[in-house]
Chains A and B, each alone.
Chain A
Amino acid sequence: MKIIRTSTVTKAVSRLCIEANINLRKDVLAALKSACRRETNPRAKNFIRDIIKNASIAKRNNIAICQDTGLPVVFLEIGQGIQFTGVDLNKAVQKGIEAGYKKAGLRNSIVTDPVCRKGKQVFSPGIIHTDLVSGSRLKITVLPKGFGCENKSRLKMFNPTVDIAEIKEFIVAAVRDAGPDACPPYIVGVGIGGTADYACLLAKKALLKKVTSYELPVTSYESKLEKDLLKEINKLNIGPMGLGGKITALAVNIETQPTHIAGLPVAVNISCHALRSAAALL
C-alpha cells in the first residue's frame, strides 16, 4: 500500500496545467517541423513557420500558446495499491486546475450554467477520467482542450456489417466539415468500438498518443488505417489556416476497444494544431 497525499496531486495538476498550456508537446513540434519541410504551398509553409514561431514566443514569454486554454481534461491512471489521504481526489484535482490556471494567467473559459450561461466565468470544474490499473503509481495527464476544435466532434453508431470505406468516409467527412474553422493542421483522434460514450472517450484518449502516424511504418491494421486516413485527409486541400495546402492533418491517431456484436461506434475528436498535454507519474 502506498500513501499519496491529495495535496501532492493538487500541486502536480497545477504544474501540468501550466506546462501543457505554455510548452508545446515535443512530438507535436517535431510533426510541425516535418510538415513545414513537406508542405509545398508557400503560404501554407509560411503559416506553419508562424505556428512554430508562436510556440517559441509562448515558451520565451511564459504565456499561453493559445488564448483558448481549453476545458482541462484530466486523466488519472490510479494504481489499485494507492491509498489517498487529505481532501477527496476530485476536489484535489479541481483545486490544482484553479491554482495552475490562476498562477499562469490562463483563461477562465468555463461557464457554470451551460444553458442560461449566467454568472462569472471560472477555471473549473475540469473533466476527470479515471482508470484503475495494477501497481502503486498514479499517472496524471492534463489535456487542455480548446473548443474551436471540440465543437467539431462526431459520433456515429454504424452497423456491424458496415464496409470499412464507409467508416473512412465518416472520419474524412468530419475533417471536411471542420474545414478552415478549427485551426488546421489538425490531429485527428478516432475512437472505434466500446459503447457510444466510450468511443468518444477513446477518440479523446487517442490525442494523447504520440503524433507520429505520418512517419511510422505500418505495423498493424490500425496503423495502416491511420496512414490511409491521413493520406485521404491530406487530399482535402484544406491546408494550414484553411488556405489550401498538402498538410490538412499532422496525424490520425486511432484507439480501439472490443464492442457488441450488434454495433460499431465510431467517434472523432479533432484537435487544432496546438495539441497540448502534459503528464506526470507520482
Chain B
Amino acid sequence: MKRIKTPLTREGIKNLKAGENVLLSGTIYTARDQAHKRFAEAIKKGAKLPFGLKGEVIYYCGPTNTPKGKVIGSCGPTTSSRMDKFTPALLKKGLTAMIGKGGRSEEVIKAVRKYGAVYFLAPAGCGALIAEKVKSAKIVAYKDLGPEAVRKLEVKDFPLVVGIDMKGASVYGKK
C-alpha cells in the first residue's frame, strides 16, 4: 500500500488514482461546517486563516470529547458534501487535500482538477478505529465551536481511499 506524508506536494499526489488505498502520516487539520463558514468569511474580508492552506490537509471531523488518558475520542469523518460550497475557494488558496465521506459536487471535482488537489475517503462510521491512528491533538482555532473547533492532529498510517484524484476521476464514477 502507498504511504504518503504531509505536507503534500502536487508532485507527491499526482500519481494517486481514484480507488487506490493509501496510508497517510503527518499533520492534518479538522474543520467542518461552522469552521468552513468562518474560513469563507475570513477570505471574503481578506483576513488571515488560522493556518496556511498550501500543502495542507483538512479533515471533515468533529471528534467526541476526549476521554481521560486518551489523545482523542472517537473521530471519524462527517459528510463531505456539506462543505462543497466552501471548498473551491479553499483549493484556490492552496489547500491540497481533504478527507471525508461520501460524494462531492461537480464544482468541487472541477476545482480539485484545476488546482491539483486530492479528496480522500476515511472509513466512515469507524471513529474508534481512526482514533488509534491519532498520535496528538490540539485545538488551534475557534475554540468556542467546541467539537467543531479546528484541531491540529498528528496521524500515523491513517487508512484512506482516494475518492477524487488530481485528474478529477471519482471513485463513485460520474454523477
- A residues apposed to B, CB below 8 Å: 47, 50-51, 53-55, 57-58, 61-69, 102, 104-109, 117, 120-121, 148, 151, 179-183, 241-243, 272-274
Contacts and interface: CB of A to CB of B under 8 A. Distances in A.
A64 B79 contact: no
B123 A63 contact: no
B125 A183 contact: yes
Contacts of B78: 67-68, 148
B160 to A, nearest CB: 11
A67 B61 contact: yes
B126 A242 contact: no
Interface string B1-30: 000000000000000000100000000000
A109 B63 CA distance: 10
A65 B34 contact: no
B148 A121 contact: yes
A268 B123 CA distance: 25
A47 B73 CA distance: 21
Q: Give 7 closest A-B pairs by Cβ, nearest first.
A: A181-B102, A58-B128, A64-B74, A105-B67, A54-B126, A105-B65, A183-B125
Interface of B: 19, 34, 61-68, 70, 73-76, 78-81, 101-103, 121, 123-129, 131-132, 144-148, 159, 161, 171-172
B101 A183 contact: yes
A64 B127 contact: yes
Contact of B128 (A57, A104, A109): A57
Contacts of B121: 241, 243
A67 B161 contact: no
B125 A121 contact: no
B146 A108 contact: yes
Contacts of B101: 148, 180-181, 183, 241-242
Contact of A121 (B75, B126, B146): B146
Contacts of B66: 105
Given A50-B159, A57-B128, 9 more contacts: A50-B126, A63-B67, A65-B128, A66-B74, A105-B65, A120-B146, A179-B172, A181-B80, A182-B79
